[in-house]
Amino acid sequence: MINGGKYDLLSCSYNQISAYVKDVLHERPFRADQLCRWISSGKSFEKMSNLPASMIEKLKQTAVLSYPVIVKKFVSSIDGTVKYLFSLSDGEFIESVVMQYEHGYSVCLSTQAGCDMGCRFCASTIGGKVRDLLPGEIIGQIIVAQRDLSIRVSNVVLMGIGEPLDNYDNVLQFLRIVNSEKSLCIGYRHISLSTCGIVDKIYRLAEEDMPITLSVSLHAPNDAARSDIMPVNRKFPLDVLLRACRDYFDRTGRRISFEYTLISGKNDSVSDADELSHILKKHLGKRPFHVNLIPVNAAGRAGIPGSDKRAAERFKRELEARNINATVRRTLGSDINASCGQLRHSQGAVKEIVT
Ligand code: SAH
């Protein structure tokens, strides 16, 4: 992985780093392991204290380690959720959120700078996609957060800015690296990928032999309502999407998770719950699946009214009465604009922060 004439080591797999250590640095194999350990802990070349000075010199000449740089950090006074605004080597901005659960720390990562999917309630899509993130820019968000907070992250969700399946190859390389025992060694079962529903890529992902959880953003129980808030539905309507979800389960055995953002008066009525349970049962039958209800965070877009917690609880009861497994997602970090894209956007022309 060469970036600007130098090896982008954060984006490299262990095998690629081993080949680089052998062929470019002419060092012995154990140096690759040492290098990987330093990279995972977020150190710069100068701080790699068990490497010989000559190797560090060659590393500086031939490689880069472009960890995201913390521009702003917000800590929720309600629940301790931490949100970072990071800048990348070209001055682009992205966000990540670290949440503490009973079972450990979970981090929500961005996969693109901006997003082209155009969901009406989502702040990430304002201004469209600027560019895809490199694998190293995705894993770098975890490494820097771990170093900053002195923690070990146990769960990863690809639910920050961007559509992960619209950056397929880089996201796949990221998944392989983060799972590797030479890197952060996070199990696939502890990783969720959230998509707005790019069906051809869901089929591709099912063939990768990577038991991550697929999380599908549904947000509406029929095509008319879904196309209205999610343009992707015009290309991949609900029938096609839910068939892909069924096939994903049949291929991988992984329970599908559906995200359903409740928008007051738009998709949160009893008849919406009824229609949703019908369409899910029609396509998934007795297969296990789960619906995650998210009260919309209205800070996203104009004209999108926030949905209250009571409406979410009512919607959950309606689904459960129809034997659908559902939970209302805890809204963490509501005082720090923790929904994806809100921070990048709420800064207006975000670039002004650093100039
Ligand atoms: N592009 C992917 C992942 C990023 S969005 C996807 O669409 O799934 C992660 C989740 O947050 C999605 O379910 C998205 O619909 C939801 N989301 C976006 N903006 C939101 C808001 N303002 N309030 C609540 N949920 C929101």
How does pLDDT run across 74-108, given as a tens digit for each residue?
A: 998 888 899 999 999 999 999 999 999 888 999 99
| C-alpha of residue 340 to centroid of ligand 1, in Å | 7
Position 337 scores a pLDDT of 64
Please say which residue of 37, 64, 91 terminates a domain.
64
| C-alpha of residue 21 to centroid of ligand 1, in Å | 40
Question: Does the annotation mark 275 as catalytic?
Answer: no
pLDDT at 225 over 90: yes
47 with 95, same domain: the answer is no
C-alpha distances (whole Å) from 297 to each of 96, 230, 262, 307 are 17, 16, 9, 8
Instruction: For 110-123, give one letter per residue: b (16+ CB within 10 A) or e.
Output: bbbbbbebebbbbb
- CB burial of residue 10 (10 Å; 0-12, 13-18, 19+): buried
24 with 98, same domain: the answer is no
170 with 263, same domain: the answer is yes
Q: Kindly report, residue by residue over 39-79, the tens digit of the pLDDT.
A: 999 999 999 999 999 999 999 999 999 999 999 999 988 88
**3-class state of residue 154 by DSSP:** strand
Q: In this structure, which amino acid lies at residue 306?
A: G
> What CATH number should be reported for the domain holding residue 325?
3.20.20.70
272 with 159, same domain: the answer is yes
Catalytic residue among 27, 92, 95, 318: 95
- Of all atoms in ligand 1, which is nearest to the CA of residue 259? 13
Scan for tokens 């350990």, then name that residue.
37
104 with 88, same domain: the answer is yes
Angle at 353 between CA 68 and CA 138, to 5 degrees: 20
**Domain enclosing residue 329, as ranges:** 69-354
The structural domain count of the chain equals 2
54 with 90, same domain: the answer is no
Question: Does the annotation mark 36 as catalytic?
Answer: no
225 with 292, same domain: the answer is yes
Q: In this structure, which amino acid lies at residue 256?
A: I
Region 201-218 average pLDDT: 96
Protein residue with its CA nearest to atom 14 in ligand 1: 217
347 with 256, same domain: the answer is yes
Please say which residue of 64, 89, 105 terminates a domain.
64
Q: In this structure, which amino acid lies at residue 273?
A: A
Position 104 scores a pLDDT of 94
Please say which residue of 12, 30, 64 terminates a domain.
64
Scan for tokens 């922060």, then name that residue.
353
pTM as predicted:
0.93
pLDDT at 299 over 60: no
121 with 247, same domain: the answer is yes
- Do 14 and 44 touch, CB atoms closer than 8 A? no
